[in-house]
Amino acid sequence: MKKKIRRTVTYLLLSACFFVQLQEQVNAKNRFDYEKDGDIFWDTETDEKVIALTFDDGPHSKYTPAMLDILADYGAKATFFVLGAHAEKFPDILYRQFSEGHEIGNHTYDHTTNLNKLRQEMKETSDIIYAITGTRPKLFRPVGGDYSDTIVRIAKENQLSVVLWSWDQDTKDWSDTDYKAIADHVIQNVSPGDVVLFHDAGGNREETVKALPLILDYLTENEYEMITVSEMIEKDEKLKRNE
């Protein structure tokens, strides 16, 4: 009798789990749903020649300063989505990013994809950024570009907005891509309102460092302004208000 009861309970639990999964699939939201609700930002449609360059996984002791030097040469602003562990390790570099007018975003503490750890890692990383810069981040970029209602909800609990990148502006500089391919990808796909994904840590980023001047030369020659993601979001909100 007890075994029969246990089997029945197990069956009911499995049925409930299946029903929840089925409901999640039926109610699954796509990119356009999240954009319409204003829960996630990818890019904006505008005629104004603005672009947001973003860098994930830093700061790095070698590559980040090299990139900052290049950005400074062009008067370009960028957004750096940093790991809390790296910010703790290189606070001087993080402060330099902030003091030179770049935006600092939250990218978890140690690149976790574990949703059970995400809430704590978001908070810890925001606290670290605040301790170093005196300013709390506004933006969160999930590892791997993953997004869901859960990630959006946890970000909101931490007063963060989720940001990804333009679908055609993933430079794939994390792979074995050479600097010319990285530069060509950005240049050939560029359009006003783009958000471009680079990396300044997480591996050898020499090719990204070498690609940046080629990209910035093109953007400058074509009268693009390199702005932060928050500035891009403000422009997007203004455009939508005026529609």
Residue 150: count other Cβ atoms within 10 Å of its Cβ: 11
Q: Distance between CA 235 and CA 172 in Å, rounded?
A: 27
Structure tokens at 164: 């990804």
What's the chain's Rg over C-alpha atoms?
20
Active site (annotated) includes residue 43: no
Strand, helix or coil at 161? strand
Q: Distance between CA 135 and CA 147 in Å, rounded?
A: 25
Catalytic residue among 39, 43, 56, 236: 56
Q: Distance between CA 63 and CA 179 in Å, rounded?
A: 14
Catalytic residue among 57, 86, 199, 236: 199
Q: Distance between CA 196 and CA 95 in Å, rounded?
A: 23
Q: Distance between CA 240 and CA 234 in Å, rounded?
A: 10
Q: Distance between CA 226 and CA 149 in Å, rounded?
A: 31
56 φ, ψ (degrees, to nearest 5) = -110, 155
Active site (annotated) includes residue 86: no
Instruction: Report the catalytic residues.
Output: 56, 199
